[in-house]
Structure 1
């Protein structure tokens, strides 16, 4: 049976066989999304996550169920076939933060304030049993910047520089391994958040793309949304939202800034590598367009005094993503398929 036939059978089992199917924008993963619309206007969303692509809808169900128990607006699970990799979920609409802010810039501060409040609310509750985003996991992910970005930009990987970088970053990350106590969604940013103004409080933020949630540091998701790879966030807004979060959680500002910078370094190095890989391996060259912004976030984090040695190494080893470097990466789109 073809995947399309499997999807049709699943839709029928869920009682939506007469619905109109409309494709929705996908993400960087191998998942596909379709909106189902009944004649009466009722809608739902089909998530198609083929098991052959190493996707796992069970994790989405687990995290969505947990988030909903906290009063947060994750999609309700309407029908599922985890073995086949299909979910029918609540349709939270199309009003992504990105679109809402573009249409009404005056709402930007409110949206970001509410997204900070969501994290504080989430972190005040005991997390479910999850894997840990500890240094043995995060360190090699940061090194993807050498494996893919440096490779694509220069044609080679400087393995000595890569090893030096990893030996330098390992103790910086490891110092926080005992403080990975909250659920982090890992892709908490404006294109994964929906504005639901008809709801109240923290429920006004619709949550998406959280199936890779792990136990992590409380700075991680805040840094993820404020150092967004896909849209610019005003530096003053970033400063204000960090202060809001620190005050809400009674944190030490200097200690929090240090953690924020370390995890910002780790995340943005990972994204440099992942976006380069998406271009070179998966022929998704539009991700190169985001790399200069990611580089900017990386440089911001490297301004922290604790990261001065890492700053010297990275700026000496990795080229700045100029127009020429980005063009070089784009020219290699799809050339490393199968690697």
Structure 2
């Protein structure tokens, strides 16, 4: 197998065959392999580098560290004399160790090796001097001269852990890039979301794109009626919906990304790079804050979209099947709010659990969801908030807002997307800006349709704001406790404030009493 040759993207190396041999025809191929491995590196990983002088270990280590730093000029000195060179990089810390000069494996304690691996990753040269101190999950990478000048052969060996499946995945992505006109492209990590998907910005010459890596999920836990949570909540499990929704939005004149290439079975998409400029800025306190005129452009987009009829079914895939977003029905809405008693309430302690009448909570929400039946529906993009909105200053009107993260689009209350924006989960939207954006949306809808039901919309908005905030409180605690992502907890105070504002609407008076009795807002007093 040569570097970049496509592999089974979901394969795991078979038992008894933990070795993978790659032909690297030139230095660029060695750099590409380093970037491929940098893309999958995670805390706890150790890479043992083997090879004679001049075999390419320095080239590999430098390329991997520069890829992680997203800095092609990063200084990467040899750790020969310092023994260890630490790097605090944006995605994770990495320690580069050269063990040639240690006399005994116990010296790894003095170097802080265990501490490095507990919180970051490690590149280890002369790993044989570590004795049995390297983890069983260490990836062994041996580099040797190849048959031609500047060529090398890389042999990757792993005895345990997830390296085999991760290597198959990242090499499959490299093959996909090669086949899609991005041969030899650089790969740089992009901030991901709360899902299993990952994103990279790739570049080949003057061309740039975003690579979406969407692993296929298996063994989903059945929670109700033979369906998983994702199925009930209408969370997309494949990439086809993203492609279909993007095409429909572009046909309406909105700035959704072009699709350069797609491998639906593997879960690979290569899409237009809409840029890096967002709708927030850094405030005086160092925290992100809304740029009001960009939020206004975003609310104008929603008003424009909702004033028109829903898009017709969209063909997607080679067979041209017609895609219609699923309904955001009572089952979906209800299983989302159930995340609060399942995850958030336990985090408050036994007192909150004892005070909470879960059956009444669910019954009150079912009444509110039933009231939505017969109300206007439209496409709901689902996460219409700052992480998914790109500012495109070179475009005009509603096209100035670039739209990403489209795969979970459903058909439901248009108030939901308004709620997503005016109560941005990751950025504090001040109450006065919230109210101004809602008023701006209402004015635009009434201009397009004098019969627009403002009172009904505001009631629907309160319900959708409360539903979304309730769900997010549960999601963010789940991300901490189940997935080991504690940074989401810093948003909880903001979400509670949003929820308190939403349930102040008279239509939610019964639910407001329930939340107060359960002590949901107690930590904000």
Q: TM-score normalized by structure 1?
A: 0.89
The answer for the alignment partner of 1:265 in structure 2 is 466
Match of 2:510, SS state, is helix
User: What residue number does 1:220 align with?
Assistant: 416
Which protein has the larger Cα radius of gyration, Structure 1 or Structure 2? 2
Contact preservation (8 Å) 1:56, 1:85: yes
**How many residue pairs end up in the alignment?**
321
- Residue 321 of structure 1 and its aligned partner are, at CA, apart by 6.8
SS of residue paired to 1:288: helix
Residues 153/35 of structure 1: CA separation in 2 closer, same or farther (3 Å cut): same
Q: Answer whether contact 2:257 2:272 (CA < 8 A) is retained.
A: yes
Matched position secondary structure for 1:18: coil
Question: 2:264 maps to what in 1?
Answer: 82
1:65-144 aligned within 5 A: 65-99=247-281, 108-123=291-306, 124-127=308-311, 128=313, 129-144=324-339
Q: Deviations over 1:221-246 (max 9, x none)?
A: 11110011111112222112111111
Distance 1:51 1:286, change over 3 A: same
Q: Please give the alpha-carbon distance, in whole angstroms, between the structure 1 residues aligned to 2:500 and 2:289.
A: 29
Q: Is the 8 A contact 2:338 2:471 kept in 1?
A: yes
Q: What SS does structure 1 have at the residue aligned with 2:387?
A: coil
How far residue 69 of structure 1 moved from its aligned partner, in angstroms, is 0.7
Q: Is the 8 A contact 2:389 2:402 kept in 1?
A: yes
Given that 2:303 and 2:445 are in contact with CA atoms closer than 8 Å, whether structure 1 keeps it comes out as yes
Residue of structure 2 aligned with 1:50, choices 215, 229, 240: 215
Higher RCO (CA < 8 A, seq sep 6+)? 1
Alignment partners' CA distance in 2, 1:151 and 1:23: 35
**Structure 1 residues 5 and 133, CA gap change in structure 2 (3 angstroms):** same
TM-score by length of 2: 0.58
- After the TM superposition, which residues 166-177 of structure 1 pair with which residues of structure 2 at under 5 Å, given as runs? 166-177=362-373
Is 2:319 aligned against 1:154?
no
Once the two structures are TM-superposed, the CA of residue 307 in structure 1 deviates from its matched residue by 1.4
Q: Give the Å deviation of 1:177.
A: 2.2
Q: Higher strand proportion, which one? A: 2
| Over 6 Å off, 4+ runs | 100-103
| 1:1-339 → structure 2 map (5 Å cutoff) | 1=7, 2-40=168-206, 42-52=207-217, 55-99=237-281, 108-123=291-306, 124-127=308-311, 128=313, 129-154=324-349, 157=353, 161-250=357-446, 251-320=452-521, 322=523
- Contact 1:261/1:301 (<8 A) preserved: yes
- Give the Å deviation of 1:70: 0.6
Contact 2:356 2:514 in 1 (8 A): no
Quick one: distance in 2 between partners of 1:75 and 1:65? 8
Instruction: Structure 2: give runs of 5+ residues left out of the alignment.
Output: 1-6, 8-167, 219-235, 314-323, 447-451
Q: Distance in 2 between matches of 1:12 and 1:295?
A: 47
Relative to total residues, which structure has the larger helix share, 1 or 2?
Answer: 1
Distance 1:100 1:76, change over 3 A: farther
Give unpaired runs (5+ residues) of structure 1: 324-339
Aligned mates of 2:376, 2:260 — CA distance in 1? 32
Superposition CA RMSD, Å: 2.3
